[in-house]
Amino acid sequence: MSQTPTSTDQHGPTVETGVATGVGSGVGTGVGTGSGPVGLGVLPRPRSAEAARALRAARAGVRWLQESGIQSAGGGYHSWFDRDSRRYPFEYAEVTGYQVTLAAWLAARGDLALREVALGDAERAVQWLSTAVQPVPGAFRCLAPSADGEEAAGRFAGKAARLYTFDAGIILQGLVAHHVATGSQDALRTARDTGDGLLRHVDADGVVQPWPSTPEAGRWQDAAGDWSTRPGVHHAKIGIGLAALGDVTGEQRYTRAAVAVCEDALTRQLPSGRFVTHPAAGTTNIHPHCYAAEALWAVGTATGRGDLLEASERATLWALAATDGDGLPPRRYGDAPDGHVSVVRHPRLDGVAQVLRLAALHSAHAGHAARRLVTTLLAHQVDAPGEPRAHGGFAFGAGTDGTPLPHANVWVTAFAVQALVLAAGERRGAAVLDWRHLV
């Protein structure tokens, strides 16, 4: 967050693992029973009882995404369900893009019933993106008020008018995945508009403008400085959508831009593998660190660039080595010239899921650090059968200051579902995920 059909490409067949969940009486329409049949599709046999537990948690996460009401009646996905206020703060364009990509992955791995539900939800999400939050072709407003009212957005309301280029890149990936899965020409047209819009905000060196200046949103240069409001390594993640658009259209200008944003990220990677995510402070936040590593893996896989894959692996190994005995990678990490290291470890579960997923992508999922990450994720899944709007979702964790944030979070759940499934499967030397489906 700024604050995811099996195919064959030029590098050979891509083998995916996935999770299939059945259709309950309320799937895609609100709070459902979750009573439908549940299968694993072509998922390899779990290695252990621990892996089987992870897969059960992933199924519950999928049910929450499909049945809890986290997707609004209009098609957009709410950011999270606040368990204290009992409200949905806002609908979020970026995370709606993640869900469209996740739906394509689920559809590729599931049975026909799951495919129909997943792609039906995605179609409603695509329509919402192209109408409710698209003020101009190719750009998307960050937030939209939920049915609970504009005041529910609280401190995030100021982001509503911003047209984040990062968000557009995430949405682009979903649009292309939906087009490939369904043949939707509407999705492809919106994807082309989005890709062209992104190219206007990527310079020749691959540096990305965070958002265009508008009277409502102001200039990004005037915003309070943090990793999400500055050009940075997290922008490499838009390369996945650009590479996917280049692949489906055959237009190399998109692929060249995808490579450029990844090469820019390489300039901010230290020999240890750590990405500097806040250039002014020289510090690293695990969330954008992982965004960069994910992009390098995906674009490296798409283009055959071994240097990108190697850089992604080094970033992954650094994150695993920095994970503590409680299964927490560093929320924020910095080191001073005098050798002093400062680490903040308040739990941020999207980062935990991202590190676990990267470990699986680089076949490091069987180590002690990765197993601790699984345990941490499972401990933060909401277990509240009497609270159907939260039950089965994964909690965000805590704020930067350590304040608990127990809300059931939509993008954390998407990341966790994919991470747990990938980490639970056997490896036989083949790719574990179509790079286009990396949420």
SS (HEC) of 327-340: CCCCCEEEECCCCC
Mean pLDDT of 127-156: 85
Share of the chain above pLDDT 70, in %: 87
When the candidates are 2.40.160.210, 2.60.40.10, 1.10.730.10, 1.50.10.10, the CATH number that belongs to 8-437 is 1.50.10.10
Mean pLDDT of 355-362: 96
Q: Rounded to whole angstroms, how far apart are CA atoms 310 and 300?
A: 9
Mean pLDDT of 313-337: 94
Number of Cβ atoms within 10 Å of the Cβ of 253: 14
Q: Rounded to whole angstroms, how far apart are CA atoms 299 and 390?
A: 35
pLDDT, position 236: 98
One-letter amino acid of 239: G
One-letter amino acid of 47: R
Residue 431 confidence (pLDDT) above 70: no
62-66, 124-128, 197-201, 400-404: range with lowest mean pLDDT: 400-404
pLDDT, position 24: 26
Report residue 348: phi and psi, to 5°. Answer: -125, 105
* Residues whose CB is less than 8 angstroms from the CB of residue 271 and which lie 6 or more positions away in sequence, other chains included: none
Confidence of residue 156 (pLDDT cuts 50, 70, 90): confident
Mean pLDDT of 137-161: 81
Residue 43 confidence (pLDDT) above 50: no
Pairing of strands 284-285, 341-344: unpaired
**Residue in 316, 367, 323 with CA at minimum distance from that of residue 345:** 323
**Residue in 75, 14, 65 with CA at minimum distance from that of residue 415:** 65
Using one digit for the tens of pLDDT, what is the confidence trace for 376-393? 999 999 999 999 999 999
Residue 27 confidence (pLDDT) above 60: no
Q: Rounded to whole angstroms, how far apart are CA atoms 192 and 238?
A: 14
**Alpha-carbon Rg of the chain, whole angstroms?**
20
- For Cα atoms 138, 144, 148, give the angle at the middle one, nearest 5 degrees: 165
pLDDT, position 20: 36
pLDDT, position 16: 44
Q: Which whole-number Å values give the CA distances from 283 to 7, 278, 336, 414, in the listed order?
A: 38, 5, 10, 27
Spell out a b/e string for 27-56, using b for 16 or more CB atoms within 10 Å of the CB, else e.
bbbeebebebebebbebeebeeeebebbbb
Mean pLDDT of 318-347: 92
pTM above 0.85, yes or no: yes
Residue 216 confidence (pLDDT) above 90: no
pLDDT, position 412: 98
Give all strands of the β-sheet with 404-409 in edge-to-edge order: 80-81, 404-409, 394-398
Q: Which whole-number Å values give the CA distances from 422 to 115, 293, 298, in the listed order?
A: 19, 16, 15
One-letter amino acid of 415: F
Give all strands of the β-sheet with 284-285 in edge-to-edge order: 284-285, 332-335, 341-344
Q: Rounded to whole angstroms, how far apart are CA atoms 380 and 395?
A: 6
pLDDT, position 36: 38
Using one digit for the tens of pLDDT, what is the confidence trace for 49-103? 788 899 999 999 999 999 999 999 999 999 999 999 999 999 999 999 999 999 9
Residue 19 confidence (pLDDT) above 80: no
Confidence of residue 438 (pLDDT cuts 50, 70, 90): very high
Q: Which whole-number Å values give the CA distances from 106 to 38, 57, 101, 158, in the listed order?
A: 13, 15, 9, 34
Strands (E), 288-429: 332-335, 341-344, 394-398, 404-409
Please, are residues 231 and 237 in contact by the beta-carbon 8 Å criterion? no
Number of Cβ atoms within 10 Å of the Cβ of 216: 12
Report residue 11: phi and psi, to 5°. Answer: -100, 10
Residue 136 confidence (pLDDT) above 80: yes
Residue 370 confidence (pLDDT) above 70: yes
Look over the chain and give the mean of its residue pLDDT values, rounded to a whole number.
Answer: 87
Please, are residues 301 and 259 in contact by the beta-carbon 8 Å criterion? no
pLDDT, position 10: 29
Residue of 202 and 338 predicted with greater confidence: 202
